[in-house]
Structure 1
């Protein structure tokens, strides 16, 4: 007689490293309700000390906004990540931003994606605080977050995918 043994599928997860050198904090601290209330998805906030945005994970660039203040990255598992620099930075029309990537490009964790002028942002708009948001939460079982002082080599998110 045969006996069937049920085995759970191995947990599938993705690790994201910090896209910013500086401070990582809970998104509820963001001075904009769109982010603080997680209306676009779950994630974390950042305060940059060096004005550089790095790739938090390997993936494909889906979009670089024309104003270079934000971009969307998709992992091979299909997780889409919005990286957005500052609050109301769209109004700056690209001033103080430089992109080092483009739509369709494959990037590796740690690659430099954008640079931005922190002081100019502080002078011109509401805030220089930034966010990393997972926009397709329907694929996510849970997210573990590490907060505090970070650099681009620190793991900050563990995303567990739905089975």
Structure 2
């Protein structure tokens, strides 16, 4: 699918990792696509197999076409709803246009990070 990383959220909010435009917001609000202002295409998928919740426990704060900034809240989600369904909250952040960009993970993991911290750098190939 692409290069990236997985975050384990400590609270039920997804914030934007980049300045960019929301290109896809899944109807179930469990996943979002963003193209950064520099052209990096990201897919962020809250949890694993959460599409099966059919939107239960997810609230979108943006719509497709919105321009977002680093740290802006995108989606609120109820971690208890996800866990009660026997699912995990680990959230992949994937570069989907890996033919144009390569990812370099910054820092040493696992570790605790704050929203807005730099986790990876995408470099044009």
- Shorter-chain TM-score tier: over 0.9
4+ aligned runs moved over 2 Å, structure 1 = 144-147
Task: Name the residue aligned to 1:86.
Answer: 47
Is 1:76 the counterpart of 2:40? The answer is no
Provide the C-alpha distance between the structure 1 equivalents of 2:5 and 2:26, rounded to a whole number of angstroms: 20
- How many equivalent pairs are there? 123
Question: What TM-score, normalized to structure 1?
Answer: 0.72
User: Which consecutive unaligned segments of at least 5 residues does structure 1 have?
Assistant: 1-39
- Counterpart of 1:3? none
Verify: 1:67 aligned to 2:28, yes or no: yes
Alignment TM-score, normalising by the size of structure 2: 0.92
Equivalent in the alignment of 1:41: 2
Which runs of structure 2 are paired with 1:104-123 in the superposition (5 Å)? 104-123=65-84
Larger Rg: 1
Structure showing the higher helix proportion among its residues: 1
What is the alpha-carbon root mean square deviation over aligned residues?
1.2
Q: State the match for 1:132 in structure 2.
A: 93
Unaligned 5+ runs, structure 2: none
